[in-house]
Structure 1
Amino acid sequence: MVIFRYSLAASLIAVAAATPTFAQTDEPVIIVTGTGLEATPAAPAYDTQEIDRDQLLSVPSGRIEDALSSVAGFQQFRRSDSRSANASAQGATLRALGGNATSRALVLLDGVPMSDPFFGYVPFSALAPERLAQIRVTRGGGSGPFGAGALAGTIELESAGIEALDGVAGQLLVNDRGETESSASIGSRLGAGFAVVSGRWDRGKGFFTTPADDRVPQSARAAFDSWSTQLRGVAPLADDVELQFRGLAYRDARTLRFEGADSTIEGQDASLRLIGRGRWQFDALAYVQARNFTNVVISSSSFTPVLDQRNTPSIGLGGKFELRPPTGEDNVLRLGVDYRRSDGELFETAISAFSGAVTARRNAGGTNSDLGLFIENDWTLGTLTLTGGARLDRWSIRDGFFSERDANGLPVAAETFADRAGWDASFRGGLLLRPSNTLALRAAAYSGLRLPTLNELYRPFVVFPVVTQANAGLRNERLEGFEAGLDVTPTETLSLSLSAFDNRVKNAIANVTIDTNLRERQNIDAIRARGIEAGAKADLGKLSLNTSISWTDAETRGSGFAAALDGNRPAQTPRFSGRATLAYRPAIDWILSATVGHVSAQFEDDLEMDRLPAATTLDAFAQVPIMGKLSLVLRGENLTGETVVTRNQGGSIDLSAPRTIWGGLRYGF
């Protein structure tokens, strides 16, 4: 934390020093945007959807993960949002390529990977929608220039600039359980640059995730208390070069199922980014992340602590450099290199459920790294745009260890695991044809790579009564896929999209049942997902409609030890999901909207023993101007009171949020 504070201060001084004062009024005005380089002409060749700021600010739950759910095919490992889920289960994936709690989609904030260096989860509670300008979701597409880990796709979050956050803005809401959500930001132009400070604090007693008939005196509400703060500065260094700084700090505490079953996540991130928009365009990025996780597991029989995962410190280091040489108006060449290193370890204490005495102390961890080189080129030939690229990754898994001592400090196990390293090549290519102003045809093929996380390699865990063992011998996952689609815009107010895809993750890491209440992380042959994605947007003046649906036939391929899984759907994977939002804007700053979402049945486990029923929910949002920039905001979650089952392990069930009504004031956003 101390190192982070000093680096934050130093970076702020650098930004301030780089900001010119413009004392002479005849100097040319330099405009900075705070964004990355523009998307390339061939980006639409892949299945890409955008979520704009208006959509982000009108999410009925106020959560970033629900905003992402407007893109059908997006899912977390469980159906719970970041107020009532254990953070380690917050993996993000697309196209039904899930099956475990680690992210198979790469989530980027201003170009920085946001997945936890140890676990691979995404800290959704630290990503406030009101701080963002837009989100670009690419389903599929392979790793390409984004970095290793983009198997199922890439989710690019872009911070809002000074145009959206100039001056003071804030909101305060309270719901019918007395929980609060508050956020504020202050933005100011500094010469030709700008700075924005923002913060958010969500807290509440939560709801009972346990069904009423299954509760015991020790059952607890899913209480949550999370805060995050971000400082962002942008300054010009030349007419076409700008420096961007971002510092993010957060902490999130939650309780799940029983009194004392508390978990926390916390992090401090800092990044510097240099953007050049001249003839030789470039994007140079460097970042550091300090993260931690704690978790107390409570026995469901004795209701006493049985495991204290008291400390899981991890560090993420990385960067990226991309160069776009001047190759002509109809050609965009991208050359680059990126690097990410994840270093972390786990400290945990096992406790007897009967005596309360310590039975074992464990320590495990290691270091993963990936260095990638990439090249990609787009050619525009009239109405046809072609793209092709290659990526070469040098990966390493090293310094892995696991140790255990008994209550007296005597060694029970002391294992070190052999270092591994290698090279992997990935490719992707596509085309975009616009035969008319109303029709675009696209096709793409691609491959990608994901290293197993430190969590999958070295950390066992328990979700009573099931024990899941780690596996230090896990191999890298490999993606191969292709897709084709079309986009139709018959009028300026109507757009339609349709995509068909076939994706396969080889050596997919899954939690495989090997005995009664015992699973182990293992590489199975593959997860194959074939499906159709469709979307429609209509803007009829004051009325608008936004829909997205996804139907996926996903199945595991297993042989040998995993033969029992062959043909099963991956755990936590629905066949169908869809959302539709109807919005009415009778006047400026007014909005009334309703969202219907549906997710089909899915299975908790790999053997398809425990079923999660289908669920349909109705949410609503209203913003009514009061005076100037001040508005009344009303939100409704799960207005029909649908029972949404998020976990079912042998009849032990968790539920998602019940009907919840929010009300409050918003200023400036």
Structure 2
Amino acid sequence: MRALLIACAALCALPLAVARAAGGDAKGSGASNRADDDMEAVYQTTVRARRQRAPRQPSDDPSGMTSVVDVQSRRGAGSDLRDVLAEVPGVRVSDSGPSGYQGISMRGSAGHQVVVELDGIRLTPPGGGAVDLSLLDVAQLASIEVRRSGGSARFGSGALGGALVLRTPRLRSRRQTSASLGYGSFNSMRVRASHGQALTRKTRMLFAASYRQTDGDFPYVDEIGRARIRPNNDARVVEALLKVDRLVGRSWRASVLGRFAGAERGAPGLAQRESATARQTDLRGLIGLSLTRWDLLLPRSALTLTLSQRYGYFRYDESSPPPVQSRNHRSGSTLGARWVLPLGRSGRLEAGFEGSAELLRDASGELSQDRLGLSAWVASQARLLSGHLVLAPAVRVVAVQGFDAIVAPKGGMIVRPFASASAAALRGLELVGNIGRRYRVPSLSEMFVRLDGFGSNPNLQPEDALAGDVGLRWTWRRFAAEAGYFRRHIKRAILFAPTSPTLVRAENYSGIDAQGIEAALSLEPGLCLGLRGAYTLTSTRFAGTLRMPGQPLHRVVGRVSWSGRRCSARWRRSGAAGRWLGGLELHAGVIGESEMALDRFNNVREEGRVLLSVGGSYRPPRWSFLALSAEGRNLLDKRDAVDTVGFPLAPARFFVSLSARF
């Protein structure tokens, strides 16, 4: 705990120290501002020239059902990734309490069946497992691409459900420093700080850090109706992000990305037999290097070389009888290349390869396993019939140590029936379809780790699935809508099941089907209002009859917001009301879910629920560098809700924060 506090203080102080060393007070002198403008002009002129030669960077899966989320516009006072992703159809994030583990499910998949990337670097823990979204601070992100159609041809092993592509903020030359402090229910506190600037005329950087803690001792109602307090549920989390890029000559760009996250938490366990002494520590780190070369051999081409290193450490200690202690170290390295070539004005070709190495070992040295892998892929896009038809095929070939080679093809198509129509409202209508093979190689943990009733299975074979979807997309001015149908058949899956009264281990099973309907709507009707809604029907079945746990059949999400920034500039300048209300933002959201099974045999079920949230923020006109935000969640105070057996969710809670930017 003390180490985390010291690290937090150092990380949060560093941006302010850099800002002071780089140029004086928060406002800066006029000469300093002019220098910033000059450097920004040099940088942007170079970047614009390159963008004219380089191919555009639309989604590399144009036919996919993808939702792009602007994180900064959705982020509230106490929001996390679960709140930001709540409105995306087909996505559900399970929770285990304040600052506890958060796992993502996409189209009925499990968390380890979804690939999560940060600026192109895979975040999946080396050795296996799902990404803990609670260790990703939304303030360090700019946007999120939810690739529901993104399969193994694009993202490799693990993308049975899809992929989550996280983007960090764009670097700027002008100095920008921000800080925030927040406090909320259950003695929760959050501190954030960030600083970005140009180091030289062609080098820019961003550093961001955050620290949060909570006692987590919230009241809840257990399965037999007793009112209880959740013990040993405190948490302390520290995160840091460093991003630097540099323009080299006229055709090169070098980038460095470093990230660290550390959490020290209580581990209360199941509500039926809570522990007051169990503790866990989770450390994650990564560093990534990339080098991009424009106009290599062909005009408007782009070659990107990447190298990344990931490290993870996990420790679990239970001192109460029977005592349990576990420690493991995980590391992984990835080397890759990606070459994008334009195909005239009608498409592009993309090719690349990726080599990876993983290592898993425990503290005793009894367990030490490594794995090497190599994959290569080719993808293309072709616009035909004057843009009325777009074809997007792709294929990936994979070789992983200990397994047979895997070939994962994928086909995508876009039909634009009114691409040449004179009516602008019709030109935004698209029909899309995708079909492809998806796979997941069993993790080293599933194959070799033994821990407290969980056994290993070195004979596991990769998960293998066929997935497809069809849908309709329509965008026009401030209106966007989409609707689609998806289906996935996993002919060979990996599930944990009891093999004896005292042992559970992973086994290969067949016959898991998922299908459903997704729909979403976004509209700005005027009067400074914004409306969003989403509906998801997800049916996941094992052996034809049993429902997969944690997947409600129906899920409805709605959000209404009012923002002074959406109002006309003329209104904001007219009178005192316009000036004072221009910095006001309000929002309210509701989530409704039907009942769901909580175990694989459908013996335990969770009833349907409705969750309500309200929040807002305000920037006064004369002190626009300040912002006061407040948010309340689960305002109907539902105290008996769970996402996972034995892990209750927090009741009504509130969070208030004050932020400043310079």
TM-score when scaled to structure 2? 0.82
2:631–2:656 Cα contact (<8 Å) kept: yes
* Alpha-carbon distance in structure 2 between the residues aligned to 1:480 and 1:313: 34
Shift in alpha-carbon separation, 1:593–1:221, aligned structure 2, 3 A = farther
Query: Residue in 1 aligned with 2:545?
Result: 567
Alpha-carbon shift at residue 26 of structure 1 (Å): 9.4
Q: Percent identity?
A: 19
Shift in alpha-carbon separation, 1:140–1:296, aligned structure 2, 3 A = farther
Query: Residue in 2 aligned with 1:408?
Result: none
Selected match of 1:531 from 516, 522, 529: 516
Query: Residue in 2 aligned with 1:295?
Result: 316
Shift in alpha-carbon separation, 1:524–1:118, aligned structure 2, 3 A = same
Shift in alpha-carbon separation, 1:458–1:210, aligned structure 2, 3 A = farther
Alpha-carbon shift at residue 325 of structure 1 (Å): 2.3
1:61–1:637 Cα contact (<8 Å) kept: no
Query: Residue in 2 aligned with 1:604?
Result: 598
Q: Which moved more, 1:277-286 or 1:172-181?
A: 277-286
* Equivalent runs, 1:171-190 vs 2, <5 Å: 171-190=180-199
Query: Residue in 2 aligned with 1:646?
Result: 642
Q: Please give the per-residue CA displacement for 1:206-260, whole angstroms capped at 9, x wherever unaligned.
A: 1347647898999614111000111110111133431110111121011132222
Selected match of 1:53 from 61, 71, 96: 71
* Alpha-carbon distance in structure 1 between the residues aligned to 2:592 and 2:230: 29
Query: Residue in 2 aligned with 1:417?
Result: none
* Equivalent runs, 1:331-346 vs 2, <5 Å: 331-346=347-362
* Alpha-carbon distance in structure 1 between the residues aligned to 2:215 and 2:43: 56
* Alpha-carbon distance in structure 1 between the residues aligned to 2:98 and 2:174: 25
* Alpha-carbon distance in structure 2 between the residues aligned to 1:493 and 1:217: 47
List gaps (5 residues or longer) in structure 2: 1-36, 269-274, 419-426, 566-581
Residue 382 (structure 2) pairs with residue 379 (structure 1)? yes
* Alpha-carbon distance in structure 2 between the residues aligned to 1:432 and 1:42: 13
Shift in alpha-carbon separation, 1:602–1:470, aligned structure 2, 3 A = farther
Q: Tell me, what secondary structure is at the counterpart of 1:505? A: strand
Query: Residue in 2 aligned with 1:630?
Result: 626
Query: Residue in 1 aligned with 2:152?
Result: 143
- Which one has a larger percent helix, Structure 1 or Structure 2? 2
* Alpha-carbon distance in structure 2 between the residues aligned to 1:34 and 1:545: 37
Q: Please give the per-residue CA displacement for 1:573-600, whole angstroms capped at 9, x wherever unaligned.
A: 2222232221110344431111111233
Residue 149 (structure 2) pairs with residue 131 (structure 1)? no
* Alpha-carbon distance in structure 2 between the residues aligned to 1:56 and 1:255: 30
1:496–1:535 Cα contact (<8 Å) kept: yes
2:552–2:594 Cα contact (<8 Å) kept: yes
Alpha-carbon shift at residue 125 of structure 1 (Å): 3.2
* Alpha-carbon distance in structure 2 between the residues aligned to 1:394 and 1:296: 37
Query: Residue in 2 aligned with 1:92?
Result: 104
Residue 654 (structure 2) pairs with residue 666 (structure 1)? no
How many pairs does the alignment contain?
587
Alpha-carbon shift at residue 471 of structure 1 (Å): 1.7
* Alpha-carbon distance in structure 1 between the residues aligned to 2:236 and 2:502: 32
1:331–1:379 Cα contact (<8 Å) kept: yes
* Alpha-carbon distance in structure 2 between the residues aligned to 1:70 and 1:234: 33
1:118–1:344 Cα contact (<8 Å) kept: yes
* Equivalent runs, 1:490-509 vs 2, <5 Å: 491-509=476-494
* Alpha-carbon distance in structure 1 between the residues aligned to 2:132 and 2:602: 29
Selected match of 1:616 from 588, 604, 610: 610
List gaps (5 residues or longer) in structure 1: 1-20, 349-361, 397-419, 558-565
Amino acid at match of 1:176: S
Alpha-carbon shift at residue 81 of structure 1 (Å): 5.6
Query: Residue in 2 aligned with 1:235?
Result: 246
* Alpha-carbon distance in structure 2 between the residues aligned to 1:578 and 1:165: 42
Residue 505 (structure 2) pairs with residue 520 (structure 1)? yes
Alpha-carbon shift at residue 295 of structure 1 (Å): 1.4
2:430–2:472 Cα contact (<8 Å) kept: yes
Q: Which moved more, 1:453-462 or 1:430-439?
A: 453-462
* Alpha-carbon distance in structure 2 between the residues aligned to 1:216 and 1:581: 31
* Alpha-carbon distance in structure 2 between the residues aligned to 1:144 and 1:126: 28
1:549–1:578 Cα contact (<8 Å) kept: yes
Query: Residue in 1 aligned with 2:413?
Result: 431
Amino acid at match of 1:289: R
Q: Please give the per-residue CA displacement for 1:257-316, whole angstroms capped at 9, x wherever unaligned.
A: 222211111022110012334422122211001110111347xxxx5453111x210101
* Alpha-carbon distance in structure 1 between the residues aligned to 2:558 and 2:529: 13
Alpha-carbon shift at residue 339 of structure 1 (Å): 2.3
Query: Residue in 2 aligned with 1:192?
Result: 202
Residue 216 (structure 2) pairs with residue 206 (structure 1)? yes
* Equivalent runs, 1:174-323 vs 2, <5 Å: 174-190=183-199, 191-208=201-218, 211=221, 220-257=231-268, 258-278=275-295, 279-297=300-318, 303-304=320-321, 306-309=323-326, 311-323=327-339
Alpha-carbon shift at residue 385 of structure 1 (Å): 0.8
Q: Please give the per-residue CA displacement for 1:451-472, whole angstroms capped at 9, x wherever unaligned.
A: 111221122445xxxx443322
Alpha-carbon shift at residue 166 of structure 1 (Å): 4.4
Shift in alpha-carbon separation, 1:602–1:427, aligned structure 2, 3 A = same
1:577–1:600 Cα contact (<8 Å) kept: yes
* Alpha-carbon distance in structure 1 between the residues aligned to 2:391 and 2:354: 24
Shift in alpha-carbon separation, 1:69–1:320, aligned structure 2, 3 A = farther
Q: Tell me, what secondary structure is at the counterpart of 2:551? A: coil
* Alpha-carbon distance in structure 1 between the residues aligned to 2:292 and 2:49: 10
2:245–2:256 Cα contact (<8 Å) kept: yes
Q: Please give the per-residue CA displacement for 1:395-447, whole angstroms capped at 9, x wherever unaligned.
A: 12xxxxxxxxxxxxxxxxxxxxxxx2320000101111112213111011111
2:349–2:378 Cα contact (<8 Å) kept: yes
Selected match of 2:344 from 307, 310, 328: 328
2:153–2:409 Cα contact (<8 Å) kept: yes
Q: Which moved more, 1:530-539 or 1:637-646?
A: 637-646
Alpha-carbon shift at residue 634 of structure 1 (Å): 0.4
Q: Which moved more, 1:140-149 or 1:263-272?
A: 140-149
Alpha-carbon shift at residue 32 of structure 1 (Å): 8.1
- Which one has a larger percent strand, Structure 1 or Structure 2? 1
Alpha-carbon shift at residue 474 of structure 1 (Å): 1.1
1:125–1:252 Cα contact (<8 Å) kept: no
Superposition CA RMSD, Å? 3.2
* Alpha-carbon distance in structure 2 between the residues aligned to 1:171 and 1:324: 40
1:73–1:95 Cα contact (<8 Å) kept: yes
1:82–1:125 Cα contact (<8 Å) kept: no
Query: Residue in 2 aligned with 1:554?
Result: 540
1:431–1:442 Cα contact (<8 Å) kept: yes
Q: Which moved more, 1:282-291 or 1:584-593?
A: 584-593
Residue 178 (structure 2) pairs with residue 169 (structure 1)? yes
Selected match of 1:441 from 431, 442, 445: 431
Query: Residue in 2 aligned with 1:483?
Result: 469
Alpha-carbon shift at residue 82 of structure 1 (Å): 6.8
Shift in alpha-carbon separation, 1:34–1:206, aligned structure 2, 3 A = farther
Amino acid at match of 1:595: G
Selected match of 2:443 from 448, 453, 461: 453
* Alpha-carbon distance in structure 1 between the residues aligned to 2:562 and 2:465: 41
Amino acid at match of 1:645: A
1:208–1:221 Cα contact (<8 Å) kept: no
Amino acid at match of 1:474: L
* Alpha-carbon distance in structure 2 between the residues aligned to 1:364 and 1:255: 26
Q: Tell me, what secondary structure is at the counterpart of 1:435? A: coil
Q: Tell me, what secondary structure is at the counterpart of 1:507? A: strand
Amino acid at match of 1:655: P
Q: Tell me, what secondary structure is at the counterpart of 2:619? A: strand
Alpha-carbon shift at residue 502 of structure 1 (Å): 0.9
Alpha-carbon shift at residue 365 of structure 1 (Å): 4.3
Amino acid at match of 1:71: V
Q: Which moved more, 1:209-218 or 1:251-260?
A: 209-218
Amino acid at match of 1:378: Q
